């Protein structure tokens, strides 16, 4: 495995067909829908088609999802996503998910280390950005401690139930 996508603890790897059950569990966990744009459950078939058609070509699909796995046993502990990839302006939105059982162990920071190096050294990106709900203090702290700066607050940006939530837009210039 390339050292660009791996360290002593974890590896960022392409999605595999064997990830179907894991993705099915994560994508259908309604508690996680508050930090994504998911509004309805995914079927196994829909996820299977996603995996079957997944190319990992960020230029063609304008997005890229990588699985975060522990090197010790290969178990998946989360995902990282490039969204809204813009090759003209050399930027992308990021998504980062670490399972509840693995949070607080520094894995999010390690994943950001690998993702940032990959973004800079392989994709040649100039900037990365994230949208984070103002109530998600742990996530805000992770990204701000990492060096992301608040570029603004977007008011009533996301709807959660019957209310609208403000989000912070954070960006990092690489």
Lowest-pLDDT range of 18-32, 100-114, 137-151: 18-32
- Using CA atoms, how far apart are residues 71 and 20, in angstroms rounded to an integer? 20
Residue 44 pLDDT:
83
- Domain positions in the chain: 3-173
How many of the other CB atoms lie within 10 Å of CB of 101? 8
- Stretch (H or E) spanning 39: none
Residues near 86 by beta carbon (within 8 Å), at least 6 away in sequence: 62, 92
Report how far apart the first and last C-alpha atoms of the chain are (Å, whole number).
24
- Using CA atoms, how far apart are residues 140 and 137, in angstroms rounded to an integer? 5
Return the axis-axis angle of helices 44-53 and 20-27, rounded to nearest 10°: 120
User: pTM of the full predicted structure?
Assistant: 0.91
- Using CA atoms, how far apart are residues 28 and 87, in angstroms rounded to an integer? 31
Q: How confident is the model at residue 2 (pLDDT cuts 50, 70, 90)?
A: low
Burial of 111 (0-12, 13-18, 19+ CB in 10 A): buried
Pairing verdict, β 91-98 and 127-133: parallel
pLDDT digits over 64-73, tens only?
Answer: 999 999 999 9
Residue 40 has pLDDT above 80, yes or no: no
The tokens of 159 are what? Answer: 């709807």
Pairing verdict, β 127-133 and 163-173: antiparallel
Residue 33 has pLDDT above 70, yes or no: no
Q: How confident is the model at residue 9 (pLDDT cuts 50, 70, 90)?
A: very high
pLDDT digits over 105-129, tens only?
Answer: 999 999 999 999 999 999 999 999 9
Domain covering 3-173 in this structure, CATH number: 3.40.630.30
């Amino acid at each position: 495995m390339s050292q660009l996508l791996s360290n002593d603890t974890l590896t960022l790897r392409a999605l595999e067909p064997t990830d179907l059950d894991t993705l099915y569990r994560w994508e259908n966990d309604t508690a996680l829908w508050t930090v994504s744009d998911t509004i309805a459950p995914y079927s196994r078939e829909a996820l299977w088609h996603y995996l079957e058609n997944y190319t990992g070509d960020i230029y063609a699909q304008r997005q890229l999802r990588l699985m975060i796995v522990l090197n010790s046993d290969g178990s998946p502990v989360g995902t990282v996503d490039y969204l809204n990839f813009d090759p003209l302006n050399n930027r992308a939105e990021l998504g980062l998910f670490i399972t509840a059982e693995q949070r607080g162990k520094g894995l999010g920071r390690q994943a950001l280390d690998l993702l940032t190096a990959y973004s800079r050294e392989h994709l040649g990106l100039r900037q990365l950005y994230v949208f984070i709900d103002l109530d998600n203090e742990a996530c805000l702290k992770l990204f701000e401690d990492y060096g992301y700066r608040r570029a603004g607050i977007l008011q009533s940006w996301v709807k959660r139930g019957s209310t609208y939530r403000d989000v912070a837009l954070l960006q990092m210039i690489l």
